[in-house]
Amino acid sequence: MASNPAREAATEAITEAVAEAGLDMEVPREGSFLVTIPGTAKLKTLVWLEVGPHSLTLTSFFCRQPDENHGVFYRWLMQRSADMFGMAFTADEVGDVYLRGRLPLSGVTPEEVDRLLGCVLTYTDENFNAALERGFASAIRKEWAWRTERGHDTRNLRAFAHLAEQPE
């Protein structure tokens, strides 16, 4: 394969930024990086960084397709995308939601990689619970009821306690 200085520089920038941030990273193949970002609302977010011949592509799974309120759910995500830096929410052919971005290789620096990873964390943590409320409220209510009826822990559902108090 012919040498590509822009790809090599981007690869070095990604490696440096991830190491500086102290994040876990796997390199399953040349030019592909799987970075794990710990979060608060979503406890773990995986981010694929793919260095292509001309651009860096970022892809991060956000959540599966909603069970309900599809129009409200996707419209809300589109509105959120309008104010996002370097990426947007997108859906695949079955409706699962991702954060996706693309950056020319000339713009890939350790600082820019750090900024993009920070954006993924921010957009995921700030929007995850609200997205679940819009697209999965009935399932959350059912899970809450099932756990409380059996005396099971509801700690990881605490952010959704208000849904349990509302009628379907």
Q: How many independent structural domains does the chain possess?
A: 1
- Name the band, by pLDDT with cuts 50, 70 and 90, for residue 135: very high
> Would you say residue 157 lies in a domain?
no
Average predicted confidence (pLDDT) for the chain: 93
Global pTM?
Answer: 0.89
23, pLDDT greater than 60: yes
**What does the pLDDT look like over 69-95, one tens digit per residue?**
999 999 999 999 999 999 999 999 999
pLDDT at res. 25: 98
Structural domain harbouring 64? 5-136
Residues making up the chain, counted from first to last: 168
Q: Is the pLDDT of residue 166 over 70?
A: no
Residue 98's CATH number = 3.30.1460.10
Query: What's the pLDDT score for residue 144?
Result: 81
The reply to whether 131 falls in a domain is: yes
pLDDT over 80 (residue 102): yes
Mean pLDDT for 130-145 is 91
Report yes or no on 167 lying in a domain.
Answer: no
Assess if residue 114 is contained within a domain. Answer: yes
Q: Is the pLDDT reported for residue 157 higher than 80?
A: no
Both tokens assigned to 24: 């876990």
Does residue 42 form part of some domain? yes
Q: Could you give the C-alpha distances from 61 to 45, 53, 116, 134, 151, in angstroms and in order?
A: 7, 23, 15, 17, 32
d(CA 27, CA 136): 34
Long-range contacts of 50-54 (CB under 8 A, 24+ apart): 51/7, 51/10, 51/11, 51/14, 51/105, 51/108, 52/7, 52/105, 53/4, 53/7, 54/6, 54/104, 54/105
